Amino acid sequence: MADTPDFQLYQHKGFYFISGIHSAEDLDKLKDCEIRDTDIFTITYPKSGTIWMQQILCLIDAKGDLSVTDKRLNADRVPWVELTENAKKFDSAPSPRMQVSHLPYYLAPQGLRQKKGKVIYVARNPKDVLVSYYHFHKLAVIMETPKDFNEFFNKFMEGRVCGSCWFDHITGWYTHKDEMNFLYLTYEEMIQDLKAAVLKICSFLGKQLDEQQIANVVKHCTFEQMKNNLNANYETISESLLNHKIGKFMRKGTVGDWKNHLTVTQNEMFDQVFQERMRKLPLKFVWDISEFKICS
Ligand code: A3P
């Protein structure tokens, strides 16, 4: 058992990481890594659609051709920069580098804040994030299994989870967005109109795809398609990290599942914190699928 990593939540510079997959030494080096103009960073708080953006970016890069992306896992094509094994390779990785990250703005490579590279920030309504994260904690071997939903609710609200506090994460990135080449997208707008979101991403990245190629990107990035695509859905990730018997990473993929989990009291408490913490940010969230008409 000597080589089994000890996965513990630990704080580094005010942010929660997991020992065994994140090393403080490599995180510190990352901050000073040189950023290239061709770098693309997708930044998310956990459970906001990171895997979805990995698939979208891979497919845009492949001009909608799934056979190109079939040869490799998306998580290898668009790796998490802060995972120790990837952080070590980041500096020497060939261009163009596509990365995903949950880092807070103040620990991310500083070059991004000199308008080098591009940042796509994907936000999701935080009640659905909470619920998705709760289920993920049960699946992920690297995270402590919650005793019950209420215990996890409290941990999330206090920011005692990997990724720390949702409110801090979005506030940090959003209030510094003008220092970066920055695109803000929401999970809910991707659910509502995936084609429009893909077009927005292409335009931001300066990628020119024809109608058919865009249609193919959209087709291969739907929840149903990704659920059945082993390169996209993390089903091949080692059992030592995810317990596939407990559930699927691609769980529900919808808006408003929080209504099946939060009690009235928890919801009122959440709303109060949300109003206090978000009042200075000009951001609106969609809280239920019935708030919009899905475009096909
Ligand atoms: P649920 O647990 O609510 O289903 P992340 O990659 O940041 O961990 O986010 C995972 C969440 O995004 C999961 O949410 C997952 O189902 C959802 N997701 C991934 N791909 C999706 C897609 N194509 N359409 C809708 N939701 C998607």
Q: Which of 215-219, 244-248, 260-264 has the lowest mean pLDDT?
A: 244-248
Structure tokens at 127: 């009640």
What is the per-residue pLDDT for 234?
87
Distance between CA atoms of residues 179 and 30, nearest Å: 19
Q: What is the pLDDT of residue 2?
A: 46
Q: To test ligand 1's pocket by mutation, which of 223, 289, 296 has the most ligand atoms within 8 angstroms of CB?
A: 223
Peptide bond into 96 cis (omega under 30): yes
pLDDT band at 36 (very low <50, low <70, confident <90, very high): very high
Mutate to test the pocket of ligand 1, among 44, 47, 120 (most ligand atoms within 8 A of CB): 47
Q: Which residue from 43, 45, 48, 52 has its CB within 8 A of the most atoms of ligand 1, so it is best to mutate? A: 52
Please give the residue that has the higher pLDDT: either 41 or 69.
Answer: 41
* Ligand 1 center–CA 119 separation, angstroms: 20
pLDDT band, very low/low/confident/very high, at 4 (cuts 50, 70, 90): low
The structure tokens listed for 209 are 């795809």
Q: What pLDDT sits at residue 72?
A: 84
Q: Residues lining ligand 1, CB < 6 A?
A: 44, 46-52, 128, 132, 135, 191, 221-223, 226, 250-253, 257
CA 94, CA 264: separation in Å to the nearest integer? 50
The CATH homologous superfamily for domain 9-291 is P-loop containing nucleotide triphosphate hydrolases (3.40.50.300)
Hey, what are 104's tokens? 């807070």
Give ∠ CA 213-253-283 in degrees, rounded to 5. 85
How far does residue 25's CA lie from ligand 1's centre (Å)? 30
142, pLDDT greater than 70: yes
DSSP lists the bridge partners of residue 122 as 44, 185
pLDDT band at 3 (very low <50, low <70, confident <90, very high): low
Closest-lying ligand 1 atom to the alpha carbon of residue 45? 7
Q: Tell me if residue 261 is catalytic.
A: no
CA of 102 to the centre of ligand 1 (A): 15
- Alpha-carbon distance of 238 to 83, in angstroms, equals 15
What mean pLDDT, rounded, does the chain reach?
Answer: 94
Q: What pLDDT, on the 0 to 100 scale, is given for residue 232?
A: 86
Output phi, psi for 44, to 5 deg: -145, 155
Measure Cα distances from 50 to 5, 54, 55, 121 in Å: 24, 6, 9, 10
Under the banding of pLDDT at 50, 70 and 90, the label for residue 250 is very high
Q: Please report which confidence band the pLDDT of residue 1 belongs to, taking 50, 70 and 90 as the band edges.
A: very low
Phi then psi for residue 41, to 5 deg, are -110, 125
Across 75-93, b (16+ Cβ under 10 Å) vs e yields bebbbbbbbeebbeebeee
Choosing from 22, 102, 135, 220, the catalytic residue is 102
Which value, in Å, is the radius of gyration of the alpha carbons in the chain? 18
175-203 as b/e, with b when 16 or more CB fall inside 10 Å? Answer: ebeeebbbbebbbbbbbbbbbebbebbbe
Cβ of 110: how many Cβ atoms within 10 Å? 17
Q: Which residue has its alpha carbon closest to ligand 1 atom 8? A: 47
